[in-house]
Amino acid sequence: MSSPTQAGGNGGEAAGSAAAQDGDVTHPMKAFASELSKLQNQVQALQSTKLQEQVLKLRESVKAINERVQAAAEDLRKDAPTGMGLSTAQQAAAVAPAQESAAPVKREKIAKMSAEVKDDNPYSRLMALQRMGIVKDYEKIREKTVAVVGIGGVGSVACEMLTRCGIGGLLMYDYDKVELANMNRLFFRPEHAGMTKTDAAVKTLREINPDVNFESYHMNITTVDGFDNFVKSITKDGEGKESRVDLVLSCVDNYEARMVINQACLELEQNWMESGVSEDAVSGHIQLIEPGYSACFECVPPLVVASGIDEKTLKREGVCAASLPTTMGMVAGFLVQNTLKYLLNFGHVSAYLGYNAMKDYFPTMEIQPNPGCTNTACCKLQVKYADARKQRVVDKEAADKAAAEEDKAGPLHEENEWSISVVDEEEGGGGGDGAGGAEEQPQQQQEEQELAEGVHFSMPKADVIDAKTLEENAVETNDEEDVDDLRAQLEALNAK
């Protein structure tokens, strides 16, 4: 039999089951919140631990650095005894000037050249040329502009020399880039590799002398466009009519580029200097070319070109020309020296100067223009300046004659306080006809010689002793006494 309590019991179980279902719905949310709270606490604890570890590592790093600093300071104190006994602040103050002096010195611009002798005046030794009378006005170099075509072994060194001399403007032309193969030459450095030669030159030269106005032209002048751009760049306002440079220096290494420069300078009636180094690197030359006055480069072409051989066919794969920095440096020096004389009007400007290193031979010559030159522009200028060219020859002959007469004018020094005289060897060697003349000549020189006041001969000269002097200084002798008697007398004297 079933009892009510059982029924009720069943009902209670049902109710409890429903209540349990409701509890199952809310329990996962609470569990999730609890797990999330635990996870956050763990993350915070982990972050705190990592932060502490990082702080510890940082402290250890600081400690290690401090130990190294102290060790370095100790080494400095050992190496510099004079610094011992100084406080840390005093030592720091003593080290500061050394750090400042180690900083690179930057060359500032200078508005006006000065001859004042100072350690920070880069122009004092150049202006000394003016003080010594070599150059009338050296500062005029700042008014001059030079174009250098070819920034290679000769051109780069020429640019540096002109920069250090204080040239006013410097235009540089080249189409090539710096390579490590160029390191056997002067000027360029390994860090320039990959740069255009003109940009590398400007970078270096501007640090040497910021007073110079540099212009960099990375171009090939042997192309049609390159020729036009080259002519425009060296003319006023780029019109290609009137040159704005005082001189063009050719430092290229091929005939084609020289012909381009020659043509441009003929069209502008621009004076230029050509330079070159031989393929074997042991000879070179420089040449001044004045359109209409001297031979142009086409008047007297190189032997290879005159023989009808194409220059490009001479180059062989894997074979290069020799290159010596010594020869190139010397040719660059000759070139810039001639340039300075030309620009500042001093000394003799060489029309042609060669150099042979094998024999130390320096040939010079003047090359007259060729009436049969194949360049029509050159022939026209020859006709234009024919009279002026003849007048220049007359003036040169007159100057040479005046210089010769000046040499014969007489002694350089009118006053001769110490009676110094120069006697011709042919006259002073007793060249008289008889013995009597040879004996009388020294005595005549003695009589003519006038000593300065307070100066006299302490003893008579051997070649002018007269009979009276001999009589006064004569020693009496007795020919009758023999050697034995004289020896006996000497022994007696010694015995005393």
Mean pLDDT of the chain: 79
Residues whose CB falls within 8 Å of the CB of residue 182, separated by 6 or more in sequence, listed in order: 152, 153, 188
Closest CA to 261 of 293, 209, 296: 296
Q: Rounded mean pLDDT of 52-77?
A: 76
- Tell me which of 91 and 188 has the higher pLDDT: 188
Q: Rounded mean pLDDT of 447-454?
A: 60
Q: How confident is the model at residue 269 (pLDDT cuts 50, 70, 90)?
A: very high
Q: What's the confidence (pLDDT) of residue 312?
A: 62
Q: What is the pLDDT of residues 34-61, one digit of tens each?
A: 777 777 677 667 666 667 777 777 777 7
Q: What's the confidence (pLDDT) of residue 471?
A: 73
Q: What is the pLDDT of residues 371-398, one digit of tens each?
A: 999 999 999 999 999 999 999 889 988 8
Report the catalytic residues.
Answer: 320
Q: What is the pLDDT of residues 329-344, one digit of tens each?
A: 999 999 999 999 999 9
- Is residue 119 within 8 Å of 222, Cβ to Cβ? no
- Is residue 174 within 8 Å of 152, Cβ to Cβ? yes
- For residue 431, pLDDT over 70 is answered with no
Burial of 215 (0-12, 13-18, 19+ CB in 10 A): middle
Cα angle 131, 134, 138; round to 5: 70
Q: How far is residue 404's CA from residue 320's CA, in Å, rounded to a whole number?
A: 49
Q: What is the pLDDT of residues 452-482, one digit of tens each?
A: 676 766 666 666 667 777 677 666 666 666 7
Closest CA to 261 of 242, 279, 247: 247
pTM of the model: 0.62
Cβ neighbours of 1 (radius 10 Å): 3
